[in-house]
Structure 1
Protein backbone atom coordinates (compact mmCIF):
# COMPACT_ATOMS: atom_id res chain seq x y z
CA UNK A 1 0.00 0.00 0.00
CA UNK A 2 1.34 3.43 -0.94
CA UNK A 3 1.80 5.97 1.78
CA UNK A 4 1.30 9.49 0.44
CA UNK A 5 1.71 12.93 1.88
CA UNK A 6 -1.78 14.42 2.26
CA UNK A 7 -0.74 17.44 0.22
CA UNK A 8 0.92 15.68 -2.69
CA UNK A 9 1.82 12.51 -4.56
CA UNK A 10 3.80 9.50 -3.42
CA UNK A 11 6.81 10.56 -5.50
CA UNK A 12 6.81 14.06 -4.01
CA UNK A 13 6.63 12.64 -0.51
CA UNK A 14 9.48 10.19 -1.16
CA UNK A 15 11.64 13.03 -2.49
CA UNK A 16 10.94 15.05 0.65
CA UNK A 17 11.79 12.11 2.92
CA UNK A 18 15.04 11.44 1.05
CA UNK A 19 16.02 15.11 1.21
CA UNK A 20 15.37 15.21 4.96
CA UNK A 21 17.44 12.04 5.43
CA UNK A 22 20.28 13.57 3.42
CA UNK A 23 20.17 16.69 5.56
CA UNK A 24 20.33 14.59 8.71
CA UNK A 25 23.27 12.62 7.29
CA UNK A 26 25.05 15.87 6.40
CA UNK A 27 24.44 17.19 9.89
CA UNK A 28 25.69 13.95 11.39
CA UNK A 29 28.80 14.05 9.22
CA UNK A 30 29.45 17.64 10.30
CA UNK A 31 29.11 16.61 13.95
CA UNK A 32 31.52 13.72 13.47
CA UNK A 33 33.98 15.93 11.58
CA UNK A 34 33.88 18.61 14.27
CA UNK A 35 34.43 16.05 17.03
CA UNK A 36 37.30 14.42 15.11
CA UNK A 37 38.95 17.78 14.41
CA UNK A 38 38.71 18.77 18.05
CA UNK A 39 40.27 15.48 19.17
CA UNK A 40 43.00 15.71 16.52
CA UNK A 41 43.89 19.30 17.42
CA UNK A 42 44.26 18.15 21.01
CA UNK A 43 46.97 15.75 19.86
CA UNK A 44 48.93 18.26 17.78
CA UNK A 45 51.13 19.39 20.71
CA UNK A 46 52.43 15.81 20.86
CA UNK A 47 54.22 16.48 17.57
CA UNK A 48 56.43 18.91 19.46
CA UNK A 49 57.48 16.27 21.94
CA UNK A 50 60.92 14.72 21.68
CA UNK A 51 61.80 11.13 22.50
CA UNK A 52 64.96 11.42 24.59
CA UNK A 53 64.71 8.22 26.59
CA UNK A 54 68.27 8.00 27.87
CA UNK A 55 68.55 4.22 27.99
CA UNK A 56 67.29 3.66 24.45
CA UNK A 57 69.46 6.51 23.16
CA UNK A 58 72.49 5.05 24.93
CA UNK A 59 71.90 1.68 23.27
CA UNK A 60 71.50 3.37 19.90
CA UNK A 61 74.69 5.38 20.43
CA UNK A 62 76.67 2.38 21.69
CA UNK A 63 77.16 4.04 25.08
CA UNK A 64 76.89 2.38 28.48
CA UNK A 65 73.61 3.59 30.04
CA UNK A 66 75.37 4.35 33.34
CA UNK A 67 77.82 6.60 31.50
CA UNK A 68 74.91 8.28 29.74
CA UNK A 69 73.29 8.95 33.12
CA UNK A 70 76.49 10.50 34.41
CA UNK A 71 76.64 12.83 31.41
CA UNK A 72 72.92 13.61 31.48
CA UNK A 73 71.09 13.02 34.78
CA UNK A 74 67.77 13.61 33.03
CA UNK A 75 66.20 14.01 29.60
CA UNK A 76 65.91 17.79 29.99
CA UNK A 77 69.68 17.95 30.57
CA UNK A 78 70.23 16.32 27.21
CA UNK A 79 67.68 18.62 25.58
CA UNK A 80 69.46 21.66 27.05
CA UNK A 81 72.72 20.40 25.57
CA UNK A 82 71.02 20.08 22.18
CA UNK A 83 69.60 23.60 22.46
CA UNK A 84 72.95 25.07 23.44
CA UNK A 85 74.71 23.23 20.61
CA UNK A 86 72.16 24.50 18.08
CA UNK A 87 72.32 28.10 19.28
CA UNK A 88 76.11 28.06 19.29
CA UNK A 89 76.31 26.49 15.84
CA UNK A 90 73.99 29.19 14.51
CA UNK A 91 76.09 31.81 16.31
CA UNK A 92 79.26 30.38 14.75
CA UNK A 93 77.65 30.73 11.33
CA UNK A 94 76.52 34.31 12.02
CA UNK A 95 79.97 35.37 13.18
CA UNK A 96 81.79 33.75 10.27
CA UNK A 97 83.27 36.22 7.82
CA UNK A 98 84.16 35.65 4.20
CA UNK A 99 87.78 35.21 3.21
CA UNK A 100 87.64 38.16 0.80
CA UNK A 101 87.80 41.92 1.29
CA UNK A 102 84.81 41.76 3.63
CA UNK A 103 87.25 40.67 6.37
CA UNK A 104 87.90 44.39 6.89
CA UNK A 105 84.29 45.04 7.78
CA UNK A 106 84.97 44.59 11.46
CA UNK A 107 86.71 47.96 11.70
CA UNK A 108 84.72 51.15 12.18
CA UNK A 109 86.73 52.76 9.38
CA UNK A 110 85.45 50.31 6.75
CA UNK A 111 83.72 51.83 3.68
CA UNK A 112 80.08 52.56 4.36
CA UNK A 113 78.86 50.13 1.71
CA UNK A 114 80.57 47.32 3.65
CA UNK A 115 78.10 47.63 6.53
CA UNK A 116 75.13 46.62 4.42
CA UNK A 117 77.19 43.89 2.75
CA UNK A 118 78.18 42.51 6.15
CA UNK A 119 74.56 42.61 7.34
CA UNK A 120 73.47 40.55 4.33
CA UNK A 121 76.42 38.18 4.82
CA UNK A 122 75.37 37.47 8.41
CA UNK A 123 71.80 36.79 7.30
CA UNK A 124 72.97 34.50 4.50
CA UNK A 125 75.27 32.56 6.82
CA UNK A 126 72.39 31.95 9.22
CA UNK A 127 70.13 30.91 6.33
CA UNK A 128 72.67 28.38 5.07
CA UNK A 129 73.05 26.91 8.53
CA UNK A 130 69.26 26.68 9.01
CA UNK A 131 68.77 24.92 5.67
CA UNK A 132 71.63 22.51 6.38
CA UNK A 133 70.31 21.79 9.90
CA UNK A 134 66.50 22.16 9.74
CA UNK A 135 65.87 19.91 12.75
CA UNK A 136 68.25 21.88 14.96
CA UNK A 137 66.78 25.13 13.68
CA UNK A 138 63.27 23.89 14.45
CA UNK A 139 64.38 22.88 17.94
CA UNK A 140 65.29 26.48 18.82
CA UNK A 141 62.95 28.52 16.61
CA UNK A 142 59.82 26.44 16.15
CA UNK A 143 57.16 25.76 18.77
CA UNK A 144 58.61 25.06 22.27
CA UNK A 145 58.83 21.49 23.53
CA UNK A 146 55.89 21.00 25.93
CA UNK A 147 56.99 20.98 29.56
CA UNK A 148 60.52 22.17 28.89
CA UNK A 149 61.81 25.47 30.28
CA UNK A 150 65.20 26.46 28.86
CA UNK A 151 67.73 27.56 31.51
CA UNK A 152 69.27 31.07 31.44
CA UNK A 153 72.54 29.95 29.83
CA UNK A 154 70.69 29.22 26.60
CA UNK A 155 69.80 32.91 26.32
CA UNK A 156 73.45 33.95 26.07
CA UNK A 157 74.07 31.40 23.33
CA UNK A 158 70.89 32.43 21.55
CA UNK A 159 71.93 36.09 21.56
CA UNK A 160 75.06 35.51 19.51
CA UNK A 161 73.28 35.77 16.16
CA UNK A 162 71.54 39.04 16.90
CA UNK A 163 74.77 40.42 18.37
CA UNK A 164 76.50 39.73 15.05
CA UNK A 165 73.91 41.91 13.32
CA UNK A 166 74.05 44.56 16.05
CA UNK A 167 77.83 44.79 15.71
CA UNK A 168 77.33 46.05 12.16
CA UNK A 169 74.82 48.64 13.34
CA UNK A 170 77.12 49.90 16.10
CA UNK A 171 80.05 50.14 13.69
CA UNK A 172 77.94 52.13 11.24
CA UNK A 173 76.78 54.38 14.08
CA UNK A 174 80.38 55.01 15.19
CA UNK A 175 81.30 55.88 11.59
CA UNK A 176 78.39 58.34 11.46
CA UNK A 177 76.57 56.58 8.63
CA UNK A 178 73.73 54.87 10.51
CA UNK A 179 70.65 56.82 9.48
CA UNK A 180 67.59 56.64 11.77
CA UNK A 181 64.37 57.28 9.92
CA UNK A 182 62.92 60.64 10.91
CA UNK A 183 59.55 59.77 9.37
CA UNK A 184 58.89 57.01 11.89
CA UNK A 185 55.77 57.68 13.97
CA UNK A 186 56.00 58.45 17.66
CA UNK A 187 56.03 55.35 19.81
CA UNK A 188 52.73 54.30 21.30
CA UNK A 189 52.59 53.37 24.96
CA UNK A 190 52.61 49.71 24.02
CA UNK A 191 55.61 50.11 21.72
CA UNK A 192 57.39 52.08 24.43
CA UNK A 193 56.99 49.06 26.70
CA UNK A 194 58.44 46.89 23.93
CA UNK A 195 61.40 49.15 23.23
CA UNK A 196 62.53 50.26 26.68
CA UNK A 197 63.84 46.85 27.83
CA UNK A 198 65.78 46.54 24.59
CA UNK A 199 67.35 50.01 24.79
CA UNK A 200 68.35 49.23 28.38
CA UNK A 201 69.79 45.86 27.44
CA UNK A 202 70.84 44.15 24.25
CA UNK A 203 70.26 47.14 21.96
CA UNK A 204 71.67 49.81 24.29
CA UNK A 205 73.29 52.75 22.51
CA UNK A 206 71.09 52.66 19.42
CA UNK A 207 68.42 55.31 18.68
CA UNK A 208 64.81 54.31 19.35
CA UNK A 209 63.86 54.32 15.62
CA UNK A 210 66.73 51.91 14.91
CA UNK A 211 65.67 49.69 17.82
CA UNK A 212 62.07 49.48 16.61
CA UNK A 213 63.16 48.69 13.08
CA UNK A 214 65.68 46.15 14.32
CA UNK A 215 62.88 44.37 16.16
CA UNK A 216 60.92 44.24 12.90
CA UNK A 217 63.95 43.00 10.95
CA UNK A 218 64.80 40.32 13.53
CA UNK A 219 61.32 38.83 13.49
CA UNK A 220 61.16 39.03 9.69
CA UNK A 221 64.50 37.24 9.39
CA UNK A 222 63.29 34.26 11.36
CA UNK A 223 59.94 34.33 9.63
CA UNK A 224 61.74 33.99 6.31
CA UNK A 225 64.05 31.27 7.63
CA UNK A 226 61.16 29.24 9.01
CA UNK A 227 59.16 29.72 5.80
CA UNK A 228 62.00 28.15 3.81
CA UNK A 229 63.37 25.64 6.32
CA UNK A 230 59.92 24.12 6.84
CA UNK A 231 59.29 23.72 3.10
CA UNK A 232 56.83 26.55 2.42
CA UNK A 233 58.94 28.46 -0.14
CA UNK A 234 58.17 26.01 -2.97
CA UNK A 235 55.89 27.63 -5.52
CA UNK A 236 56.45 31.09 -4.05
CA UNK A 237 59.98 31.93 -5.22
CA UNK A 238 61.70 30.28 -8.18
CA UNK A 239 65.07 31.42 -6.79
CA UNK A 240 64.78 31.37 -2.98
CA UNK A 241 68.31 32.64 -2.35
CA UNK A 242 67.85 35.63 -4.65
CA UNK A 243 64.63 36.46 -2.83
CA UNK A 244 66.35 36.11 0.53
CA UNK A 245 69.25 38.39 -0.48
CA UNK A 246 66.79 40.99 -1.78
CA UNK A 247 64.78 40.89 1.45
CA UNK A 248 67.85 40.90 3.71
CA UNK A 249 69.21 43.92 1.85
CA UNK A 250 65.88 45.70 2.22
CA UNK A 251 65.87 44.88 5.95
CA UNK A 252 69.34 46.35 6.38
CA UNK A 253 68.33 49.57 4.66
CA UNK A 254 65.11 49.61 6.68
CA UNK A 255 67.11 49.49 9.91
CA UNK A 256 69.29 52.40 8.80
CA UNK A 257 72.36 51.06 7.00
CA UNK A 258 73.46 53.07 3.97
CA UNK A 259 73.26 51.62 0.48
CA UNK A 260 76.55 53.32 -0.42
Structure 2
Protein backbone atom coordinates (compact mmCIF):
# COMPACT_ATOMS: atom_id res chain seq x y z
CA UNK A 1 0.00 0.00 0.00
CA UNK A 2 2.88 2.33 0.82
CA UNK A 3 4.47 1.73 -2.59
CA UNK A 4 1.16 2.48 -4.32
CA UNK A 5 0.76 5.67 -2.31
CA UNK A 6 4.31 6.74 -3.14
CA UNK A 7 3.71 6.12 -6.85
CA UNK A 8 0.54 8.21 -6.69
CA UNK A 9 2.41 10.95 -4.88
CA UNK A 10 5.04 10.97 -7.62
CA UNK A 11 2.38 11.20 -10.32
CA UNK A 12 0.65 13.99 -8.43
CA UNK A 13 3.92 15.90 -7.95
CA UNK A 14 4.74 15.55 -11.65
CA UNK A 15 1.30 16.81 -12.69
CA UNK A 16 1.57 19.80 -10.36
CA UNK A 17 4.99 20.53 -11.83
CA UNK A 18 3.53 20.45 -15.36
CA UNK A 19 0.66 22.69 -14.26
CA UNK A 20 2.98 25.29 -12.73
CA UNK A 21 5.34 25.22 -15.74
CA UNK A 22 2.39 25.78 -18.09
CA UNK A 23 1.06 28.57 -15.86
CA UNK A 24 4.53 30.10 -15.82
CA UNK A 25 4.41 30.37 -19.61
CA UNK A 26 1.00 32.02 -19.31
CA UNK A 27 2.56 34.77 -17.21
CA UNK A 28 4.46 35.96 -20.27
CA UNK A 29 1.30 36.38 -22.35
CA UNK A 30 -1.61 36.98 -19.99
CA UNK A 31 0.10 38.35 -16.88
CA UNK A 32 -0.66 37.26 -13.34
CA UNK A 33 -4.17 38.75 -13.38
CA UNK A 34 -4.98 36.79 -16.54
CA UNK A 35 -3.96 33.36 -15.28
CA UNK A 36 -6.64 30.78 -15.95
CA UNK A 37 -6.80 27.21 -14.71
CA UNK A 38 -9.10 26.38 -17.62
CA UNK A 39 -6.51 27.65 -20.09
CA UNK A 40 -3.81 25.63 -18.34
CA UNK A 41 -6.02 22.53 -18.50
CA UNK A 42 -6.61 23.04 -22.24
CA UNK A 43 -2.88 23.33 -22.93
CA UNK A 44 -2.21 20.14 -20.96
CA UNK A 45 -5.07 18.28 -22.62
CA UNK A 46 -6.96 17.90 -19.34
CA UNK A 47 -10.62 18.47 -18.66
CA UNK A 48 -11.24 21.44 -16.39
CA UNK A 49 -12.73 19.32 -13.62
CA UNK A 50 -9.55 17.21 -13.45
CA UNK A 51 -7.15 20.09 -12.90
CA UNK A 52 -9.09 21.28 -9.86
CA UNK A 53 -8.19 18.05 -8.08
CA UNK A 54 -4.56 19.19 -8.12
CA UNK A 55 -4.89 22.98 -7.91
CA UNK A 56 -8.26 23.99 -6.42
CA UNK A 57 -8.27 27.66 -7.49
CA UNK A 58 -6.46 30.42 -9.33
CA UNK A 59 -5.17 31.74 -6.00
CA UNK A 60 -3.69 28.33 -5.21
CA UNK A 61 -1.98 28.40 -8.61
CA UNK A 62 -0.59 31.87 -7.91
CA UNK A 63 0.71 30.66 -4.56
CA UNK A 64 2.52 27.75 -6.21
CA UNK A 65 4.11 30.11 -8.74
CA UNK A 66 5.11 32.60 -6.05
CA UNK A 67 6.70 29.92 -3.88
CA UNK A 68 8.57 28.54 -6.89
CA UNK A 69 9.77 32.03 -7.78
CA UNK A 70 10.96 32.91 -4.28
CA UNK A 71 12.72 29.56 -4.00
CA UNK A 72 14.45 30.15 -7.32
CA UNK A 73 15.72 33.57 -6.19
CA UNK A 74 16.74 32.10 -2.84
CA UNK A 75 18.64 29.24 -4.45
CA UNK A 76 20.46 31.63 -6.80
CA UNK A 77 21.48 33.85 -3.88
CA UNK A 78 22.54 30.90 -1.72
CA UNK A 79 24.69 29.45 -4.50
CA UNK A 80 26.35 32.78 -5.23
CA UNK A 81 27.17 33.38 -1.57
CA UNK A 82 28.47 29.84 -1.04
CA UNK A 83 30.79 30.12 -4.05
CA UNK A 84 32.22 33.48 -3.00
CA UNK A 85 32.47 32.57 0.68
CA UNK A 86 34.45 29.47 -0.21
CA UNK A 87 36.78 31.37 -2.54
CA UNK A 88 37.26 34.41 -0.29
CA UNK A 89 35.65 33.86 3.13
CA UNK A 90 36.72 37.22 4.57
CA UNK A 91 35.56 39.29 1.60
CA UNK A 92 32.16 40.35 2.91
CA UNK A 93 31.81 43.18 0.40
CA UNK A 94 32.49 40.70 -2.38
CA UNK A 95 29.87 38.33 -1.01
CA UNK A 96 27.35 41.20 -0.96
CA UNK A 97 28.13 42.04 -4.59
CA UNK A 98 27.89 38.38 -5.56
CA UNK A 99 24.42 37.90 -4.12
CA UNK A 100 23.20 41.21 -5.54
CA UNK A 101 24.42 40.10 -8.95
CA UNK A 102 22.59 36.80 -8.54
CA UNK A 103 19.30 38.61 -7.90
CA UNK A 104 19.79 40.80 -10.99
CA UNK A 105 20.80 37.88 -13.19
CA UNK A 106 17.75 35.85 -12.16
CA UNK A 107 15.40 38.80 -12.59
CA UNK A 108 16.61 39.62 -16.09
CA UNK A 109 16.35 35.97 -17.10
CA UNK A 110 12.83 35.63 -15.61
CA UNK A 111 11.18 39.07 -15.88
CA UNK A 112 7.60 37.79 -15.70
CA UNK A 113 8.26 35.70 -12.61
CA UNK A 114 10.09 38.65 -11.08
CA UNK A 115 7.09 40.88 -11.80
CA UNK A 116 4.83 38.40 -10.05
CA UNK A 117 7.01 38.55 -6.93
CA UNK A 118 7.99 42.22 -6.84
CA UNK A 119 5.63 44.03 -9.20
CA UNK A 120 2.11 45.29 -8.67
CA UNK A 121 -0.09 43.14 -6.40
CA UNK A 122 -2.54 40.86 -8.18
CA UNK A 123 -6.07 42.22 -7.59
CA UNK A 124 -7.99 40.08 -5.11
CA UNK A 125 -5.03 37.89 -4.18
CA UNK A 126 -3.56 37.74 -0.67
CA UNK A 127 -0.43 35.65 -0.25
CA UNK A 128 -0.81 33.03 2.49
CA UNK A 129 1.72 32.30 5.22
CA UNK A 130 2.89 29.34 3.10
CA UNK A 131 4.95 31.78 1.02
CA UNK A 132 6.98 33.24 3.92
CA UNK A 133 9.67 30.56 4.24
CA UNK A 134 10.51 30.81 0.53
CA UNK A 135 10.23 34.60 0.49
CA UNK A 136 12.90 35.16 3.14
CA UNK A 137 15.56 32.77 1.79
CA UNK A 138 17.43 35.61 0.13
CA UNK A 139 16.96 37.87 3.18
CA UNK A 140 18.52 35.23 5.41
CA UNK A 141 21.61 35.18 3.22
CA UNK A 142 21.91 38.98 3.24
CA UNK A 143 21.49 39.00 7.01
CA UNK A 144 24.10 36.28 7.45
CA UNK A 145 26.69 38.22 5.43
CA UNK A 146 26.17 41.37 7.50
CA UNK A 147 26.06 39.48 10.80
CA UNK A 148 29.29 37.61 10.03
CA UNK A 149 30.96 40.82 8.86
CA UNK A 150 29.94 42.61 12.06
CA UNK A 151 31.22 39.73 14.19
CA UNK A 152 34.54 39.90 12.33
CA UNK A 153 34.82 43.65 12.92
CA UNK A 154 34.44 44.29 9.19
CA UNK A 155 31.47 46.69 9.28
CA UNK A 156 32.88 50.21 9.01
CA UNK A 157 30.47 52.67 7.35
CA UNK A 158 31.84 55.62 5.42
CA UNK A 159 31.15 58.87 7.25
CA UNK A 160 28.73 59.61 10.05
CA UNK A 161 25.11 58.59 9.61
CA UNK A 162 22.23 59.70 11.81
CA UNK A 163 20.99 57.02 14.22
CA UNK A 164 17.63 55.42 13.42
CA UNK A 165 14.70 57.21 15.07
CA UNK A 166 13.29 55.59 18.24
CA UNK A 167 9.93 55.14 16.51
CA UNK A 168 11.29 52.34 14.32
CA UNK A 169 13.14 50.47 17.08
CA UNK A 170 10.35 47.91 17.43
CA UNK A 171 10.34 47.24 13.70
CA UNK A 172 14.11 46.86 13.64
CA UNK A 173 13.79 44.38 16.50
CA UNK A 174 11.30 42.36 14.47
CA UNK A 175 13.69 42.38 11.52
CA UNK A 176 16.52 41.23 13.79
CA UNK A 177 14.48 38.29 15.07
CA UNK A 178 12.97 37.42 11.70
CA UNK A 179 16.27 36.71 9.96
CA UNK A 180 18.51 36.10 13.02
CA UNK A 181 20.49 39.29 12.39
CA UNK A 182 22.67 39.77 15.45
CA UNK A 183 23.76 43.40 14.90
CA UNK A 184 22.89 46.81 16.41
CA UNK A 185 19.89 48.80 15.27
CA UNK A 186 21.91 51.23 13.17
CA UNK A 187 23.42 48.38 11.15
CA UNK A 188 19.99 46.84 10.63
CA UNK A 189 18.57 50.18 9.46
CA UNK A 190 21.37 50.69 6.94
CA UNK A 191 21.05 47.07 5.78
CA UNK A 192 17.32 47.47 5.20
CA UNK A 193 18.03 50.57 3.12
CA UNK A 194 20.60 48.66 1.09
CA UNK A 195 18.22 45.72 0.62
CA UNK A 196 15.49 48.06 -0.61
CA UNK A 197 18.03 49.73 -2.89
CA UNK A 198 18.99 46.39 -4.40
CA UNK A 199 15.44 45.47 -5.34
CA UNK A 200 14.61 49.02 -6.37
CA UNK A 201 17.56 49.08 -8.75
CA UNK A 202 16.69 45.67 -10.18
CA UNK A 203 13.03 46.66 -10.57
CA UNK A 204 13.96 49.86 -12.41
CA UNK A 205 15.91 47.79 -14.91
CA UNK A 206 13.37 44.98 -15.30
CA UNK A 207 10.46 47.40 -15.70
CA UNK A 208 12.24 49.67 -18.19
CA UNK A 209 12.76 52.73 -16.01
CA UNK A 210 16.33 53.16 -17.28
CA UNK A 211 15.30 53.25 -20.93
CA UNK A 212 16.63 56.43 -22.61
CA UNK A 213 18.63 57.13 -19.48
CA UNK A 214 21.34 54.47 -19.04
CA UNK A 215 22.29 52.59 -22.17
CA UNK A 216 21.93 48.83 -21.92
CA UNK A 217 25.67 48.04 -22.33
CA UNK A 218 26.43 50.27 -19.32
CA UNK A 219 23.71 48.96 -17.02
CA UNK A 220 25.86 46.19 -15.61
CA UNK A 221 28.56 48.70 -14.65
CA UNK A 222 25.92 51.01 -13.18
CA UNK A 223 24.45 48.16 -11.17
CA UNK A 224 27.85 47.13 -9.78
CA UNK A 225 28.62 50.75 -8.88
CA UNK A 226 25.27 51.17 -7.12
CA UNK A 227 25.64 47.93 -5.18
CA UNK A 228 29.15 48.98 -4.14
CA UNK A 229 27.72 52.23 -2.80
CA UNK A 230 25.00 50.37 -0.93
CA UNK A 231 27.55 47.94 0.48
CA UNK A 232 29.55 50.88 1.80
CA UNK A 233 26.39 52.30 3.33
CA UNK A 234 26.12 49.10 5.33
CA UNK A 235 29.83 49.38 6.10
CA UNK A 236 31.16 46.54 3.94
CA UNK A 237 34.49 47.48 2.40
CA UNK A 238 36.71 45.59 -0.02
Shift of 1:162: 1.5
User: Counterpart in 1 of 2:24?
Assistant: none
- When residues 105 and 151 of structure 1 are mapped into structure 2, their CA distance, relative to the original with a 3 A threshold, is farther
2:223 to 244, 247, 258: 244
C-alpha distance in structure 2 between counterparts of 1:171 and 1:213, whole Å = 16
C-alpha distance in structure 2 between counterparts of 1:194 and 1:51, whole Å = 35
C-alpha distance in structure 2 between counterparts of 1:233 and 1:151, whole Å = 33
Structure with the higher fraction of residues in helix conformation: 2
Pairs within 5 Å for 1:73-152: 73-97=56-80, 102-104=84-86, 110-111=89-90, 114-152=91-129
TM-score using structure 2 length: 0.79
Provide the alpha-carbon RMSD of the alignment: 2.3
Give CA deviations for 1:75-132 in whole Å, capped at 9, x if unaligned: 11111001111111111111123897x35158xxx33xx2111110100011010011
Question: Which structure 2 segments of 5+ residues have no match?
Answer: 1-29
Structure with max Cα Rg: 1
Aligned with 2:33: secondary structure? coil
TM-score using structure 1 length: 0.72
Give CA deviations for 1:199-256 in whole Å, capped at 9, x if unaligned: 3332531111110001111111111111000112122223000000011111111112
Aligned with 2:75: secondary structure? helix
Aligned with 2:125: secondary structure? coil
State the number of aligned residues.
207
Question: Which structure 1 segments of 5+ residues have no match?
Answer: 1-46
